[in-house]
Amino acid sequence: MTAQTVASPLATGTEPGGRHWTPVAQVSEVAAARNYLTVDLGRTPAIVMRDDEGELRGFVNMCRHRGMALLEGCGTVETTIRCPYHAWQFDVSGRLRVIPQRPSQFAEVDQSRWSLLPISVAVWRGLVLAHPDAGQPDPGPELSALAGEAPESPVVTAGRLVELAGPVPGYTGSPLVRPGPAHGEVAVVATGATGMAHVLVSVPDGPDAPARAAALLDAVVDSLPARTTAA
């Protein structure tokens, strides 16, 4: 593959492993309503979720009552996001819907002011990216400038979580963008404080697209100081 590797300039702060766009999933992993995944964006625990209208949303994974983590891992919520501590419930758009202790407690609370705190979520070439700060501009144009323009066509994506044996050369805290060997192919690598790296690839659709995506993913993973991998 092309050796060029570019550190994304999309960072907006100096927090280690934190305040920048991070590739977190393939779109197919949060394709259906109420699908969710959790991820640490530096020091910000986050939820990425598809709401009932089909929109991807992101929230800080922290209850607005006393800060309990609301969800873990990935999956699909049945109806609402229910806090495991005192059972406050938020809908999949982040709005506080139920305070079970009412009216004996919290009678004065204006629920409309206690929605989950939003983060920024974007989709670029079939990959989901998240930023711990709300209201961030779409990173797509800047990522495309780094990766090279892609054909206006659907893409095929693949991803892997890699346990690292050491630091990734050239990694300075914001995602690495690696153009692939063919036009429109790209890999994005991001590591966090846990010693794990997200590796996601996107290639233009075509008859051999899954094979090209798999080969690009293998090539990028092989180039990392990787110890073990998990699908």
Site residues (vs ligand FES, CB under 6 A): 63, 65-66, 68, 83, 85-86, 88
Query: Would you say 83 or 130 has its CB closer to ligand FES?
Result: 83
Which amino acid makes up residue 79? T
Query: Would you say 24 or 83 has its CB closer to ligand FES?
Result: 83
Element containing residue 145 per DSSP (H, E): helix 140-147
Query: Would you say 63 or 176 has its CB closer to ligand FES?
Result: 63
Minimum distance from residue 83 beta carbon to ligand FES (Å)? 3
Query: Would you say 71 or 155 has its CB closer to ligand FES?
Result: 71
Minimum distance from residue 181 beta carbon to ligand FES (Å)? 49
Q: Are 59 and 116 in contact (CB under 8 A)?
A: yes
Query: Would you say 10 or 92 has its CB closer to ligand FES?
Result: 92
DSSP 3-state assignment of 153? coil
d(CA 138, CA 124): 9
Minimum distance from residue 102 beta carbon to ligand FES (Å)? 12
Minimum distance from residue 128 beta carbon to ligand FES (Å)? 26
Q: Which two tokens stand for residue 44?
A: 């910000």
Rg of the chain on CA atoms, in Å: 19
Q: Which residues pair with 186 in a beta bridge?
A: 179, 202
DSSP 3-state assignment of 220? helix
Minimum distance from residue 86 beta carbon to ligand FES (Å)? 3
